[in-house]
Structure 1
Amino acid sequence: MQKLGGREGGGGRRRRRDEGGQESAGYKEPPRSFFTSHPTEIPHTAAGAKNTKAERNMSNSLLKMMGTLMCVLAACAQVVPVKDFNLEKMAGKWFIVGFATNAQWFVNHKAGMKVGTAIFAPTTEGDLDLSYANLNADGSCWRMTHLAHKTETPGRFTFHSQVWNNDNDMRIVEVQYEEYALIHTIKTKEGVSEVLNKLYSRTQVASDSQRETFTKFSEETGILTDNIVILPENAECPAV
């Protein structure tokens, strides 16, 4: 389980500007040639035959990859929140100690990422006010806020990022309220979805069992092993 983003809310809700940006968009439309079929006129030479075979193999590989991705996303759509979710017990400060996603923005920046904080504040309407902060290496502070709206399913929330223009389907799939929480989010932009898993802890250091749970769940939701990261400790941003 980063970004400029404003607090998203319905009509009449107060809004607040987010600062900084840890996530880049990470969503790029594939080049048009990706969807273009190969020419039908192929030279009848040995080299041409080899090229044709190579092209067929490449096409088959791409189809398998796309099929695998579709299966993974279909499986993720079935991920359900924890039973008997208690919104009030989620309140307070959490440390984001684990991050897992195959999104390109994460692959590009994961080496420099460190533990950040998140404040969860339930609203009277049953929504969840989210405030994130990370202390950068230069001493500056990155911040982001969202208002996650409740759904008919307890433990499942949705919000739209106006800056990155993506829809977020967030599910709290496992939680020990005084220890850790495992949160699974499906981010969708222009019909393309990516999975993001985060490991939250009440302390900056996750236990071995929490790490194992996070790693296993991330692999089951299609995250490559190299893209499942336990973040190093970090100083905190000053309170605002």
Structure 2
Amino acid sequence: MRTKVISVAMVILCVMMVNADVKPQKDFNLQKFAGTWYRVGLAYDSPGFIPFRDKVKASMGIITPMSSGNVNLTMWELTPFGCITKMYKYNKTNVPGQFAYFSTRHNMVKDITVVNTNYTDYALVLKHKVFHREYTQVALYARSPRPPRNEVIQKFKTFALSQGFPRESILTPPAAENCPPSGSTR
């Protein structure tokens, strides 16, 4: 039992060290980051997610900055029950490019870090909660539903691997059909 506790503690320490080195985009500009983004890549290896990996489609979101520095995110995701809309409020932190939000699904506060973006084509985003490896995700966002250039996809995969994700947990899902439905993003 003691060996198991030590092993778990070592895994937690390794995850903390990996995520501690992640810095947000230098000179992050929220106004330039605002607008429509499509999640065209995802790295997530939660055991509960594995059965659904083949069903994932690219999702669309709209980032709306608030005067407070917080962000509202409206996401449309295609699920087996149809196209659903989710609303998120990301609270600013003291570090530009880092946000926090309360996940009702996991009942905890999570950190969001915009790791790298050129604002016009792509963004690499890390979502994590320190101490809980199963809640870490890496996402690749693009300004269109089409995947970005191959070098951007490789950058995404390399970053996901550096965060400890196995290759089989790194996805570049196809675009969703009619999600969001035409005219629903106004």
* TM bucket normalised to smaller: 0.7 to 0.9
Q: Alignment partner for residue 90 of structure 1, among 30, 33, 37? A: 33
Q: Alignment partner for residue 199 of structure 1, among 112, 115, 140? A: 140
Deviations 1:75-102 (A, max 9, x none): 2122110100000011111110001022
- Cα deviation for residue 234 of structure 1 reads 1.7
Q: Alignment partner for residue 126 of structure 1, among 69, 82, 86? A: 69
Structure 1 spans left out of the alignment, 5+ residues: 1-35, 38-58
State the distance in 2 between where 1:122 and 1:172 align: 14
State the distance in 1 between where 2:9 and 2:93 align: 30
- Cα deviation for residue 104 of structure 1 reads 1.8
CA gap 1:102/1:120 in 2 versus in 1, 3 angstroms: same
How many pairs were matched up?
180
Identity of aligned residues (%): 27
Query: 1:80, 1:173 within 8 Å by CA — same for their partners in 2?
Result: yes
Amino acid across the alignment from 2:125:
I
Structure 2 spans left out of the alignment, 5+ residues: none
Q: Alignment partner for residue 70 of structure 1, among 6, 10, 13? A: 13
CA gap 1:117/1:126 in 2 versus in 1, 3 angstroms: same
State the distance in 2 between where 1:186 and 1:135 align: 23
Q: Which contiguous aligned blocks of 4+ residues in structure 1 show a shift greater than 6 angstroms?
A: none
More strand as a share of residues: 2
CA gap 1:143/1:187 in 2 versus in 1, 3 angstroms: farther
CA gap 1:163/1:100 in 2 versus in 1, 3 angstroms: closer
TM-score (norm 1): 0.69
Amino acid across the alignment from 1:130:
L
Amino acid across the alignment from 1:158:
A
TM-score (norm 2): 0.87
* RMSD, aligned α-carbons: 2.1
State the distance in 2 between where 1:223 and 1:72 align: 11
Structure-2 residue corresponding to 1:143: 85
TM alignment of 1:24-173, pairs within 5 A: 36=1, 67-136=10-79, 140-173=82-115
Amino acid across the alignment from 2:97:
G
Amino acid across the alignment from 1:186:
H
State the distance in 2 between where 1:143 and 1:110 align: 20
Structure-2 residue corresponding to 1:176: 118
Partner SS for 1:212: helix
Partner SS for 2:176: coil
Amino acid across the alignment from 2:102:
H
Deviations 1:140-188 (A, max 9, x none): 2122111100010000000112343021100000001110000001136
Structure-2 residue corresponding to 1:217: 159
- Largest Rg, 1 or 2: 1
